[in-house]
């Protein structure tokens, strides 16, 4: 049985799926085919139900929960790992309402968090996450919400942090920030979904046990990234919650969904 697996080319995702996709252990009757896209493209494809197992932003959960089920393993969730709001020049709180803000996709958790904490901002520009830093440097936009490895590179480019959206979330909820999770289509059936969840769990453990082996696979998709930035990315986003959400992880996801339903965040039609 062939199963399509969607994930981003970012180091945490390629690290997680390295062993599963490179036959490092027995996957039984299941064969996995990678679909590697930016997370916002994965979000859009999930809305169309195109991928069997996929990484998704938690901000999209309520729109796909009739079709997809959250797995226990593979999530990006934790403390001090949330999206950052950055700028080229110093911007005060009272100026933000009038600013143009670059976001890495309307369905992303980053957009939800920004909209949640700064609901007065109306001027948003969607762009690929990796283009946001240059958009700020070129003064195409006043502010940008950055995710992934950009949190490790923006200061070297002379950009400034205006707010840490993950920190704001943690202060409000006293819970880790749920960024993205791995979801499986419900029509795969409970038994197959449980097997896939277990195999992703094993893939993560294999990568932890064989990090130098796994990083060579990561490098294939992060060729322009310094190796130390890859490791920083992996250490931040692949953690105990990735191995298993556990009670605290599930509580964080539930609180996120509760608050998301209270906010009128822009949705795609």
148 annotated active-site = yes
Active-site choice (23, 94, 107, 148): 148
* Helices then strands, each counted (H, E), the chain: 11, 11
Residue with tokens 């089920």: 69
Distances (CA, A) of 129 to 49, 103, 116, 126: 23, 7, 19, 9
Whether 11 contacts 230, CB under 8 Å: yes
H or E element: which one contains 137?
helix 132-137
Is 202 buried (19+), middle (13-18) or exposed (0-12) by CB count in 10 A? middle
In angstroms, how far is the first alpha carbon of the chain from the final one?
A: 33
Phi, psi of 102 (to 5 degrees): -85, 130
Active site amino acids? 148
């Amino acid at each position: 049985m062939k199963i399509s697996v969607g994930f981003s080319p970012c180091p945490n995702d390629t690290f997680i799926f390295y062993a599963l996709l490179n036959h490092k252990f027995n996957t039984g009757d299941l064969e996995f085919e990678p679909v590697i896209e930016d997370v916002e493209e994965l979000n859009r494809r999930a809305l169309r139900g195109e991928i069997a197992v996929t990484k998704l932003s938690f901000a999209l959960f309520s729109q796909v929960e009739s079709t997809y089920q959250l797995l226990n393993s593979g999530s990006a969730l934790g403390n001090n790992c949330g999206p950052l709001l950055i700028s080229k020049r110093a911007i005060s709180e009272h100026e933000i309402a009038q600013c143009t803000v670059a976001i890495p996709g309307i369905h992303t958790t980053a957009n939800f968090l920004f909209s949640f904490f700064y609901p007065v901002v109306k001027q948003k520009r969607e762009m690929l996450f990796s283009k946001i830093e240059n958009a700020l440097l070129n003064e195409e936009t006043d502010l940008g919400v950055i995710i992934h490895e950009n949190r490790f590179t923006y200061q070297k480019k002379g950009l400034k942090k205006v707010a840490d959206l993950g920190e704001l979330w943690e202060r409000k909820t006293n819970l880790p920030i749920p960024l993205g999770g791995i979801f499986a289509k419900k029509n795969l059936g409970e038994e197959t979904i449980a097997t896939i969840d277990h195999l992703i769990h094993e893939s993560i453990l294999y990568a932890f046990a064989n990090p130098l082996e796994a990083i060579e696979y990561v490098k294939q998709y992060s060729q322009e990234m310094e190796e130390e930035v890859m490791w920083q990315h992996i250490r931040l986003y692949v953690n105990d919650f990735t191995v298993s959400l556990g009670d605290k992880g599930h509580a964080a996801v539930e609180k996120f969904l509760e608050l998301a339903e209270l906010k009128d965040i822009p949705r795609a039609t």
